Chains A and B, each alone.
Chain A
Amino acid sequence: NAGVTQTPKFRVLKTGQSMTLLCAQDMNHEYMYWYRQDPGMGLRLIHYSVGEGTTAKGEVPDGYNVSRLKKQNFLLGLESAAPSQTSVYFCASSSDRVNTEAFFGQGTRLTVV
């Protein structure tokens, strides 16, 4: 049982480059999330999705785009990377049944130079 899988695990980008982070879950969850984690800032929600074909903004959406074309996948895109986007990115998923837990991927460590 893979749970939530993120690719890639590490990446170094130059300022202005673009990239896409992929999150895949095999638990048939409706809800999927992208967070970033920075020292002293905790986990901050970037974007989330409540089902296939839907996306919504979180706390810190600027500079990111997302897509949920398939229920099991949630993609996070950086169109023009900036050093401020250096962070660890986590994907999570949960059922739409509210009394269930959230599951997290192992993270993507992104450095923008």
Chain B
Amino acid sequence: KQEVTQIPAALSVPEGENLVLNCSFTDSAIYNLQWFRQDPGKGLTSLLLIQSSQREQTSGRLNASLDKSSGRSTLYIAASQPGDSATYLCAVRPTLTFNKFYFGSGTKLNVKP
């Protein structure tokens, strides 16, 4: 069974720092990996979808990389802002069970003004 791990569980940084969030998965047979943002009391908002054939995807200050063979993805946030404070979750879509997504438990990010 696919296991997805996100470390650290929580992260606090001062405004303006560049930071990296980590996501690891145990089975490299995936179609894609998706990064989400969740604000308190809200649903999940899709940030980036990175296909298994891709190495990275960028959207504004966000850059997601994928190393499928080693079972790792990182979400890089440049010049962090207090508005980036949220929980960030990653999810993989395995090739064998492609109608399901497997989620990590998330990294709770606090960007201090």
The answer to whether A102 touches B98 (Cβ under 8 A) is no
20 new A-B contacts at CB < 8 Å, known A104-B43, A104-B44, A107-B42:
A33-B101, A41-B105, A42-B104, A42-B105, A48-B99, A48-B100, A50-B99, A58-B100, A94-B101, A98-B98, A99-B51, A101-B46, A102-B91, A102-B101, A104-B36, A104-B45, A104-B46, A106-B42, A107-B41, A107-B43
A106-B46 contact, Cβ under 8 Å, with A42-B104, A50-B99: no
Total A-B contacts with CB atoms under 8 angstroms apart: 54
In the bound complex, residues from chain B placing their C-beta under 8 Å from that of A101 are 32, 34, 46, 49
Residues of A within 8 A of B (CB): 4, 31, 33, 40-43, 45, 48, 50, 58, 90, 92, 94, 96, 98-107, 109
Instruction: Note all chain B residues with C-beta closer than 8 A to A48.
Output: 99-100
Let me know if A42 and B103 touch, CB within 8 A: yes
